[in-house]
Structure 1
Amino acid sequence: MVTTLLGHVAVNPRGTALVDARGVTTWSVLNDRCNRWIWVLRGLGIGPGDRVAVMAGNRRESWEVFLACLHTGVVVVPVSWELDVEGVAHILRHSGARVLVVEFATVDIAMLAVTHVDTVEAVLDLDAPIDQARSAEHALAQVPAVEPDGQVAGGPMFYTSGTTGAAKGVLSAGLGGAGQPVESLAATAAAVCGGVGFPPDGTAMIVGPSYHSGQFVLATFPLLFGQTLVIHRAPDPAAVLREIDRRQVTNLLLLPKDFIDLLALPDRVRDGFSGRSLRVVLHGGAPCPPDVKRRMIEWFGPVVTEYYGATEGGLFALASSAEWARVPGTVGRVLPFLECRVVDAAGQEVETGQEGVLYFRNRSGAAFSYHGDPDRTAAAHLEPGLFTVGDVGHLDADGFLFVSGREAHLLTVEGQRVHPNRVEQVLSAHAAVADVAAFAGPHPSGPGDCIHLAVIPVADQSGATNADTVVDDLLVFAAERLPAAAVPRRIHVVDTIPRSSAGKILRHELRTTLAERPYTTS
């Protein structure tokens, strides 16, 4: 048996471990299939320290492979199914993946990418096999379901979205590492789940893509913790509500864009939702407009908890609904197992309340590295163990953390530093704004850049919007609440705001598509 599943199989072999589009998978069946996956990988010569890439959507088999890798010392590399051929090839080449697992929706791009790398030795297709790939189900049928010996912990390697440069492979010791005792997986899962308040006998749900670290961790660790995992292949707001009630989901992770989509549902759909089973609804990955969060708390209740973290270091801080209401704008207090320092450009710690670059240290000594890039790893560290992901913020006198934004995203306008996140937070509070994004664009009457704004107005009952009125109101609203340099000089009324699958605003796309077009207003 897979070691961390032993207790769950022994206590409740016919209990529900996974639920996906195909139906229910019991703990016993999950354990047997994970065992077979380990034997398949070993038969391909895969051992501790090797890399296995998984480019498949949210489905049962993805977690079977994840668990098999985590129990055989293998580094599992989730690959985004939104990448083009070049992007997939980069990850396969950079990670050194020897095996690639694909599915019907990714096989075409994946096989083209494989032709550009020389590390991949085998491709396993979860669905119908093609000429160059082996059928995963056929391979599983050829091996026993008996417990593999010599189990040892593996770990994930995530590739960042690349919004601040080329995608980077991140190995985090805090999320498990190849070569550790396999029992460490259960201990880490229990610590993470207990730390965020997940009940041991609860049910988790994943809505976002599993190739993001937060989604992966907050779905996989609850499974190791003994929770049932409900897997959504693609976000469907109405279906999410139905499944929460139907499956009695206790905890899940949502992005701010998920909140916006849920709030946009018709009243009849929202009114039919109970949500009584919910205990923790985590959100993070991108700043959430205050009014959106306020409305979600009013609807879901005080179960909405904000997290601040990063692929490099895991969770940094948590803010309950009550804390957020009491201390507006905070992402919470830094977690007890972390040290946080706020430093200036010279690397000196600043006084409480002053803004600077945020650095963190895991008190356990766990560290991270950028795979194959010692220079980038060194640049992220102020001293051994003390690292930054490039965010700027401050701590108040009560220890609450505030994050202004990514240092690389700060704009210099008229000699002043402007945080796009701050502009968005202020203007999203306007009643006529459904969604908003700030970005840099050419100044209309001089050299350099100024703040441009993309805004989606709230529509009336007929679906119409009054763009001119919204723009005029926003200009006055902004001038009353923001420093002069942060007031938008150009406002573009749009239908959509581009975001990554992690919910992060793609500001470079906004500049490319909007900055040179005719303006809605000046």
Structure 2
Amino acid sequence: MFINCCFVHLIYKEKIILNSEESHPGVFAQRTPDRPSIIIGETGESVSFLELENISNQIAHLLRDLGLRRGDRVAILLENHLLYIPIVWGAFRCGLRVVTIATHLTSDDVDFILEDSNASALFTSSFMKSTLANLNIWGIKKQNRFMLDSCDVDFRPFEEIVNKLPNFPVEDQSEGIEMLYSSGTTGRPKGIMKQLPDGPFGVPAPGYKLIADLYNLDEKTVYLSPAPQYHAAPLLFVMRALRFGATVVIMRKFEAETALSLIQKYKVTHSQWVPTMFIRMLALGDEIKSRYDQSSLKCVIHAAAPCPIEVKLEMIKWWGEIIWEYYGASEGNGLTVIDSKEWLRHRGSVGKAKIGKVRICGDDGEELPRGETGLIYFSDSPKFEYHNDPQKTKDSRNQYGWSTLGDIGYLDSDDYLYLTDRKANTIISGGVNIYPHEIENHLLGHPAVKDVAVIGTPNNEFGEEVKAVVIPIQKFFEKDDLERELIEFCLVKVGKIKSPKSVDFVEELPRQENGKLYKRLLKDRYWKNER
């Protein structure tokens, strides 16, 4: 375990006087210093609130000593490491923008993000050596590169450097913010620039308080994070949970039965998932699911990708009416939320707006009547820009300055939002718009389908035709007529125009840990000779 006496024996010479409105790990370092703040679920390694405060202060001093000032960028390329969040919090308390980089990216994509973000420092670990071997990193000085758990000729040893630094706060603390790069499901990752918080250090912004109030985050919360910390939702929910005194249990990697065992072991009260995780846990079967006590759960949150209605009904049946869903994105331009009771009355909805106001607009940017499908915009909401890409920023706005992420949906008569699909995924066949999400949801209800993606493929007469790409459940795959069976299954429910004209069977789909399907990669296989 990395934490050693250099981190735990240094205590503030004087007790820091805190503002009564402050809520952050430093508050709980004084109130409950020995209580775990972060636990790695599988190994039990942990960092107390006092250790989190000390380490994050040492990292803040390191960054100041390197010359980084408010608004500068620092990059993190780490697995779900025990010190991931302490590094983030250390950078936040310096007023920096924190660029968290996905560990599955190619070296070219990592280099692109480092260069595009203008990162001044990089934190990584020996776990990432295969990626690091092919990086240029020419824009980051060697003295500003740090490796955890090992030493490398091109990096400075993190532990050795940080151990020697003071553990009290830097004098000019201010709130920092994440600078995340979109997942690149429809193209090159885009850096998202949000406004730096301008309030006093340690006082949570209104959006943070909203989340804490909605989900009842407090010192009694034990929050399970089963996803990679570089993603927006896991990172930001972990940071918010810690801001309000929760203990956070982080999984190194999601595995369905392990997740259930950790809920029982740590008496988890809150957690956040993506639909593919629900599907994998449900697939364990009743005998395995019944081994583990889930009664401590009070709030289960999901987002990131559409959840099939039948899957969500099964989860509510299993865990009770404690499941919440939200719709939002890394851009932070709006938020809708729905709890289980509301959802059961508005099945398929992602809720009502809590941040911003939802507007459904046509291609001309004008608002459409209730019930009509169009682009989802948010008005009266936080601003963002796409870094180094003014055209993408401009394209995300309409003539009124409302912003869209390219998703399609509609509002019902009670102002509940329903997602239809992404504009980029829309199939146009013979002039008819076809939304794959509806077809995918229906196919997931077939017992032979484990996962599915519906895309448009070239058709000389109609421009595009509907194709389903299916991961079959193996015991059904022996059937010679499975393709025909799936097509007929769709004809009955979604109609002839929307039904797949063909079905391909594959062993895996390009779906990442955040649950999102990278359809661009899938479509490239079928369109490479057409473009």
Structure 2 length-normalised TM: 0.90
CA distance in 1, matches of 2:184, 2:118: 19
CA distance in 2, matches of 1:170, 1:72: 19
Matched, 1:148 2:166: no
SS of equivalent to 1:159: coil
Matched, 1:183 2:170: no
Are the aligned partners of 2:407 and 2:421 in contact in 1 as well (CA < 8 Å)?
Answer: yes
Which residues in structure 2 correspond to 1:367-406 (within 5 Å)?
Answer: 367-383=383-399, 386-406=402-422
Match of 2:434 in 1: 418
Match of 1:113 in 2: 135
Which residues in structure 2 correspond to 1:327-476 (within 5 Å)?
Answer: 327-335=346-354, 337-363=355-381, 366-383=382-399, 386-443=402-459, 446=461, 448-459=463-474, 463=475, 465-476=477-488
Are the aligned partners of 1:75 and 1:178 in contact in 2 as well (CA < 8 Å)?
Answer: no
CA distance in 2, matches of 1:16, 1:505: 35
CA distance in 2, matches of 1:362, 1:78: 28
- Could you tell me which amino acid in structure 2 is paired with residue 278 of structure 1? L
Deviation at 1:96, TM superposition (A): 0.4
Which residues in structure 2 correspond to 1:245-324 (within 5 Å)?
Answer: 245-313=264-332, 316-324=335-343
Deviation at 1:501, TM superposition (A): 2.7
Are the aligned partners of 2:192 and 2:386 in contact in 1 as well (CA < 8 Å)?
Answer: yes
Deviation at 1:494, TM superposition (A): 2.8
Structure 1 residues 270-279 or 19-28, which shifts more? Answer: 19-28
Deviation at 1:385, TM superposition (A): 5.1
Amino-acid identity (%): 27
- Could you tell me which amino acid in structure 2 is paired with residue 359 of structure 1? Y
SS of equivalent to 2:317: helix
CA distance in 2, matches of 1:332, 1:305: 9
CA distance in 2, matches of 1:40, 1:116: 21
Deviation at 1:367, TM superposition (A): 1.0
CA distance in 2, matches of 1:248, 1:186: 29
Matched, 1:41 2:68: no
CA distance in 1, matches of 2:69, 2:101: 20
Are the aligned partners of 1:48 and 1:178 in contact in 2 as well (CA < 8 Å)?
Answer: no
Cα pair distance change 1:379/1:448, threshold 3 Å: closer
Partner deviation per Cα, 1:327-382 (whole Å, 9 max, x = no partner): 222111122x321111111111111111111110245xx21111122222122122
Q: Which of 99, 104, 112 lines up with 1:90 in the alignment?
A: 112
Matched, 1:222 2:241: yes
Deviation at 1:325, TM superposition (A): 2.1
Are the aligned partners of 1:359 and 1:386 in contact in 2 as well (CA < 8 Å)?
Answer: yes
Deviation at 1:391, TM superposition (A): 0.9
Deviation at 1:514, TM superposition (A): 6.8
Q: Which of 479, 496, 502 lines up with 1:490 in the alignment?
A: 502
Match of 1:78 in 2: 100
Structure 1 residues 185-194 or 226-235, which shifts more? Answer: 185-194
CA distance in 2, matches of 1:99, 1:515: 39
Match of 1:520 in 2: none
Cα pair distance change 1:489/1:473, threshold 3 Å: same
Cα pair distance change 1:190/1:199, threshold 3 Å: same
Matched, 1:508 2:526: no
Cα pair distance change 1:205/1:133, threshold 3 Å: same
Matched, 1:136 2:151: no
Are the aligned partners of 1:103 and 1:125 in contact in 2 as well (CA < 8 Å)?
Answer: yes
CA RMSD of superposed structures (Å): 2.3
After the TM superposition, which segments of 4 or more aligned residues of structure 1 sit over 6 Å from their partners?
none
Are the aligned partners of 1:441 and 1:452 in contact in 2 as well (CA < 8 Å)?
Answer: yes
CA distance in 2, matches of 1:199, 1:154: 22
- Could you tell me which amino acid in structure 2 is paired with residue 265 of structure 1? L
CA distance in 1, matches of 2:397, 2:456: 29
Partner deviation per Cα, 1:215-250 (whole Å, 9 max, x = no partner): 111111101111001111111111111111111111
Match of 1:519 in 2: none
Deviation at 1:204, TM superposition (A): 0.9
Cα pair distance change 1:115/1:157, threshold 3 Å: closer
Deviation at 1:192, TM superposition (A): 1.7
Q: Which runs of 5+ in 2 are unaligned?
A: 1-15
Structure 1 residues 186-195 or 369-378, which shifts more? Answer: 186-195
Cα pair distance change 1:385/1:37, threshold 3 Å: farther
Are the aligned partners of 2:360 and 2:373 in contact in 1 as well (CA < 8 Å)?
Answer: yes
- Could you tell me which amino acid in structure 2 is paired with residue 7 of structure 1? V
SS of equivalent to 1:100: strand
CA distance in 2, matches of 1:231, 1:248: 14
CA distance in 1, matches of 2:328, 2:429: 28
Matched, 1:13 2:33: yes
Are the aligned partners of 1:16 and 1:25 in contact in 2 as well (CA < 8 Å)?
Answer: yes
Cα pair distance change 1:451/1:464, threshold 3 Å: closer
SS of equivalent to 2:152: coil
Deviation at 1:119, TM superposition (A): 6.8
Deviation at 1:142, TM superposition (A): 1.4
Deviation at 1:199, TM superposition (A): 4.7
CA distance in 1, matches of 2:106, 2:448: 37
Match of 1:53 in 2: 75
Are the aligned partners of 2:491 and 2:499 in contact in 1 as well (CA < 8 Å)?
Answer: yes
CA distance in 2, matches of 1:493, 1:373: 38
CA distance in 2, matches of 1:160, 1:326: 33
Partner deviation per Cα, 1:121-174 (whole Å, 9 max, x = no partner): 61111111111111111111111112322110010000001112211001234x
SS of equivalent to 1:389: strand
SS of equivalent to 1:183: coil
Are the aligned partners of 2:118 and 2:139 in contact in 1 as well (CA < 8 Å)?
Answer: no
Match of 2:5 in 1: none
CA distance in 2, matches of 1:214, 1:351: 31
CA distance in 2, matches of 1:511, 1:283: 27
CA distance in 1, matches of 2:241, 2:372: 37
Structure 1 residues 267-276 or 213-222, which shifts more? Answer: 267-276
Deviation at 1:180, TM superposition (A): 4.1
- Could you tell me which amino acid in structure 2 is paired with residue 449 of structure 1? E
Deviation at 1:185, TM superposition (A): 3.4
Are the aligned partners of 1:203 and 1:251 in contact in 2 as well (CA < 8 Å)?
Answer: yes
Deviation at 1:448, TM superposition (A): 2.6
SS of equivalent to 1:105: helix
- Could you tell me which amino acid in structure 2 is paired with residue 507 of structure 1? K
CA distance in 1, matches of 2:164, 2:206: 33
